[in-house]
Amino acid sequence: MKETTKQTWKYFIKKSLDYKFYLFLTVFSIIIATIASYIALPYIYKEIIDLLTSPSQLERSIIFNKALFFLLLVLISYLVLNIFFRVSEFSTNYLQPYTMRDIENDAYEKLQNHSYTFFSNSFSGALVTRVGRFRRAYERIFDRVFWDFLPIIVIICFSSIVLYFQSKTLTLILLVWVFVYVLIMFFLYRWKYKYDVLSAEEDSKVTGALADSLSNVLTIKAFAKSQKEKKRYYDISTSRAKVNKKAQDVGAYINIVQGILMMSAEIIIMYFALKLWYEEIITVGTVILVQAYIAIIVRYIWGFGRIIRDVYEALANAEEMISIMNLKPDVEDVFPPETLKIKKGKIKFENVTFSYEEKEVLKNFSLEIKKGEKVGIVGESGSGKTTLTKLILRFLNIQKGKITIDGQDISKITQEDLRTQISYVSQEPLLFHRTLIENISYAKSYTTIDEIEEVSKKANIEQFISRLPKGYQTMVGERGVKLSGGERQRVAIARAMLKDSPILILDEATSSLDSKSEKWVQEAINNLVKNRTTIVIAHRLSTIQNMDRIIVLDHGKIVEQGTHKSLLRKKGPYSELWKHQAGGFLND
């Protein structure tokens, strides 16, 4: 058994044991109901048939009364099985949803613990699918184990016990056949398992491709690449179809073997039963009891192959998520962490070295930003501008050196604590598909409508919000698509204002805006940067003219720094960027 398969079993069992009482109640109720339904009832009818067919000197009234007694036992058995089946249903109705909730929350928490790099390399649609499969895999395995596999075990064990007292020969034949059947099915479905794993992998690829295309539908249409994308999606889905066909073909071959084994069981066991009756070793009732047990066992044991198949398929689906949960995050908190001491916002890079895989971005990089200082950072693409912000936020880990804020090494405190002291506004601020008031107040747990309205005024969004039919209760759409780029930026700025952190990072917050939107956003930014240590990554150099200091990066090194005017006088790299800006826009 693969290590991930073992881990999946252990994980699901552990989560189920969090609700021990309901788990025990489910198992106990299913066992009692199964015995009453499939073991006791056939045996009682066997006694009735033997009573009616065996030679007896008893009066018919006595035989009739005895038969009525057995009929009363039939009624009791039906009552028992119905009561305990209902009990098992209600206990399952509690155990299963809450365990699935815990599994889903575990998966969500593990995903949240992963770093920026993990999400950069993963399709969000595929991750959503994996979480859903993980949750449903538990449900599927639970149903198969408790509602299918457990009754099979109970039926085989207790029917063997009953038959043992009727005929040891028949019991031995039955158990040998069951053993051979289970062994063959186990190996056949292990053979099929590898195709189920491939099928799950192909399914994830199709889902990821679909999510990627839908999220970039405007790009596809703008570049007239619909046919190309259709062909790409067709090829990926065809690959999945081929794998699925192979898995289903293997399943069909297994069904052929299964049918042969079932047929042989009924014929062989009934042959020996009839032979024993002929030799007057067993009664007519016992022959019928054997036939009833065989019919029940064959019906359930046929499902055994389906149980194995479903369990293996569910395990294949679950293992994708288990692998992610076992994956060590790129950025982890130290334990025990230091107490947060950041209050003012003085930032210092001390001989920092950082590489993306094989590509070195920073080497022995040093920089000090004073408390309350407003610093603009510019440079060509790949110069390391955005990398600096990700390192400060600990989206990425440095390889050497250290970064301190107010003298405290940020690697020694938790990521959550660090980010409470930093407000971050990106080039493409993504909003939640929630109301405006929820998006603006997201950074602060407890806030008032007065505070929200105040930051909305400062962020220049109150006017456009007031024109909306539902005002602050307006839903902004997925990723904020109902708002313009400038409106989204200002909502993000209002959110950062409400957070009121000592450090502010603006990552190209105006680069993709038109002149009018840029004016509104720039005014909002001017209100936001007051009394904060501010780092502005800029495409448009016009947005950083009033910074206390401008730093020019080139291949991870500071090539010059100073105010806007002093850098222009130097006629160095910054001056060249300014000349070639062409209306204030710099490609990065």
Q: List the beta bridge partners of residue 475.
A: 435
Residues of 236-268 as b/e, b for ≥16 C-beta within 10 angstroms? bbeebeebbeebeebbeebeeebeebbeebeee
Q: Is the pLDDT of residue 479 over 70?
A: no
- What's the CA gap between 347 and 338, in Å, rounded? 18
Q: With CA atoms as reference, report the closest residue to 486 among 510, 467, 465.
A: 510
In the CATH hierarchy, which fold is given to the domain comprising 337-421+536-588?
A: Rossmann fold (3.40.50)
* Helices 284-326/150-164 angle, 10° precision: 150
- Residue 152 or 62, more confident: 152
Write down how long the chain is: 588
Q: Residue 569 to residues 9, 104, 586: CA-CA distances in angstroms?
A: 69, 59, 20
Which helix (DSSP H) or strand (DSSP E) does residue 203 occupy?
helix 168-215
pLDDT tens digit sequence for 383-429: 888 889 889 999 888 889 999 999 999 999 998 899 888 888 887 77
If one counts every other C-beta atom within 10 angstroms of the C-beta of residue 160, the result is 17
Task: Please state the three-class secondary structure of 499-558 as a single string.
Answer: HCCCEEEEECCCCCCCHHHHHHHHHHHHHHCCCCEEEEECCCHHHHCCCCEEEEEECCEE
User: Which band of pLDDT confidence, cut at 50, 70 and 90, is reported for residue 341?
Assistant: confident
| Cβ(211)–Cβ(126) below 8 Å | yes
Note the Cα 58 to chain centre separation in Å: 70
SS3 at position 219: helix
- What's the CA gap between 488 and 428, in Å, rounded? 8
Q: Is the pLDDT of residue 568 over 80?
A: yes
| Cβ(292)–Cβ(312) below 8 Å | no
pLDDT tens digit sequence for 231-244: 988 998 998 898 88
| Cβ(314)–Cβ(149) below 8 Å | no
- What's the CA gap between 128 and 568, in Å, rounded? 50
Q: Please give the structure tokens belonging to residue 378.
A: 């510019």
Q: Is the pLDDT of residue 509 over 70?
A: no
* Helix (H) and strand (E) counts in the chain: 20, 10
pLDDT tens digit sequence for 454-477: 888 887 788 788 888 888 888 887
Q: Is the pLDDT of residue 138 over 80?
A: yes
Tell me what the pLDDT averaged over the chain comes to: 84
CATH-assigned architecture of domain 18-325: Up-down Bundle (1.20)
- Domain locations along the chain: 18-325, 337-421+536-588
pLDDT tens digit sequence for 345-366: 899 999 999 988 778 888 899 9
- Mean pLDDT, to the nearest integer, of 109-128? 76
Note the Cα 114 to chain centre separation in Å: 12
- What's the CA gap between 436 and 154, in Å, rounded? 58
| Burial of 515: CB neighbours in 10 Å, binned 0-12, 13-18, 19+ | exposed
Give the number of C-alpha atoms closer than 13 A to the C-alpha of residue 352, restricted to the C-beta side. 29
Q: What pLDDT, on the 0 to 100 scale, is given for residue 588?
A: 38
Q: With CA atoms as reference, report the closest residue to 342 among 286, 394, 281.
A: 394
| Cβ(427)–Cβ(507) below 8 Å | yes
User: Which band of pLDDT confidence, cut at 50, 70 and 90, is reported for residue 1?
Assistant: low
pLDDT tens digit sequence for 93-102: 999 999 999 9
pLDDT tens digit sequence for 309-331: 788 878 888 888 888 888 887 88
- The full DSSP string for 136-160 is HHHHHHHHHIIIIIHHHHHHHHHHH
SS3 at position 59: coil
User: Which band of pLDDT confidence, cut at 50, 70 and 90, is reported for residue 499?
Assistant: confident
| Cβ(100)–Cβ(138) below 8 Å | yes
At residue 426's C-alpha, the angle toward residues 439 and 515, to 5°, is 95
Q: How does DSSP classify residue 405? A: E
